[in-house]
Amino acid sequence: MAYVDIRNLTVKYDDVEALSDFSIDLNRDDLLAVLGPSGSGKSTLLHAISGLIPIVSGEITISGRQLDKLPPGKRHIAMVFQDGALFPHLSVQANIELPLKAGKIPKARRKEHVHRIAKLLELETLLGRRPNQISGGEQRRVAMARALIKRPDIFLLDEPLASLDPWLRHKMGQELVELHDRLNVPIIHVTHDQAEALGLGTRIAIINKGRIQQIGSPDDVYDRPKNTFVATFVGHPPMNLLSPSALSPEEMNLLFPHGRRPSSVDVLLGFRPEDVRVEEGRGFVLQMRQVQGHEQIAVFTAQGKRITARLKRGKPLQQGKTYDLSVPHGPVHVFDANTGNRMGNISP
Ligand SMILES: Nc1ncnc2c1ncn2[C@@H]1O[C@H](COP(=O)(O)OP(=O)(O)O)[C@@H](O)[C@H]1O
Ligand SMILES: [Mg+2]
């Protein structure tokens, strides 16, 4: 049996099903990123695993112990909450060492642990302050330190990096990966940020409306999205989706050279902005151009169709001018127009 076995978890708030038939296996070395939009059930999943909310049905087994009937305190789970709530009347140091104090660890050992974790999260100079004397981002780091100080069977992290400055988010993301390597327990890291999920997760679970859409490696979900939700939620800017019935035969030839043809018109064709080639021509008008670092995002339109391209910044483009667009080499994904499910690729 896998180290973590979550089977058919269903959770309801009154009559709203917030999590539906959710199943996943994890090994000790997994860092699972659960990725989904706001309201998709990410926090609900973590609360259900921790025992903070009851489940309607399903089973949760971690390290051979069945948890779903146990109270939260007996589950050996550490969690950082979305709001990172700290005790306002306690110092940062006291907040961090709280789980150790509850575990009756002697004072000298507690101090050692607090300093180790404070160093890791750059909180050393803040240990004497109270939560209202530090910034929101610092409060989040304290909450993370408090969860990470114990050696639980699993870490559950609910958007712990969301309120941090970009450079600190990146740094803490790397630290999380290193920490995970040392600790030998799985992490479930919930986020609505796809770049964070793909950057951190050894596996990604994409969730929408309480249901798993796809579980796979970062490469799997990017290269072989199982449906149009995953295709457009992962990747920035989102994958282009076009109905072949909206394209004239000439447009079809230009856009997908080498005779790439879908076998049916009842599909949606998907291709990534970075796979779009832009040349002088007449087909599409450049509506908008946005510089992003060394790249530029360009949005083109033609008779109700809209195509986004991601290009090197050096490529000269002029708003209002017309261009020909093509997808000469990159994959063209085919989705069922009715269900949104992946049917396959059309190879060049
Ligand atoms: N305590 C609650 N009572 C009623 N509905 C809730 C409660 N908590 C969350 N929900 C609903 O359940 C769904 C999932 O919420 P949540 O798990 O918080 O999503 P996420 O963390 O992905 O943003 C949402 O539709 C949300 O409105
Ligand atoms: Mg949430």
Closest ligand to C-alpha of residue 19 is 1
Query: Which 3 state secondary structure label does DSSP give 251?
Result: helix
Ligand 1 within 6 A of 16 CB?
Answer: yes
Give pLDDT, residue 117: 85
Strands (E), 30-138: 31-35, 57-62, 65-66, 77-80
Strands 203-208 and 31-35 come out as: parallel
Alpha-carbon gap, residue 45 to 32, rounded angstroms: 13
Say what the pLDDT of residue 132 is.
Answer: 94
Contact 2, 60 (CB under 8 A): no
Whether 244 lines ligand 1, by a CB cut-off of 6 Å, is no
Average pLDDT by stretches of 10, the chain with 348 residues: 95 96 96 97 96 96 94 90 84 93 87 89 93 86 84 88 79 82 88 93 97 97 98 96 91 86 88 96 94 95 94 93 94 96 88
Calculate how far, in angstroms, residue 38's C-alpha sits from the geometric centre of ligand 2.
Answer: 7
Structure confidence at residue 162 (pLDDT): 80
Question: Which pLDDT score, from 0 to 100, does residue 82 have?
Answer: 67
Cα of 31 to ligand 2 centre, how many Å?
Answer: 18
Alpha-carbon gap, residue 304 to 25, rounded angstroms: 44
Structure tokens at 40: 């998709």
pLDDT at res. 138: 84
CA of 42 to the centre of ligand 2 (A): 5
| Exposure string for 68-94, b = 16+ CB within 10 A, e = fewer | beeeeeebbbbbbbbebebeeeebbbb
Relative to beta strand 267-271, strand 277-292 is: unpaired
Q: What is the pTM of this model?
A: 0.89
Domains of the chain from N-terminus onward? 4-233 (3.40.50.300), 240-346 (2.40.50.140)
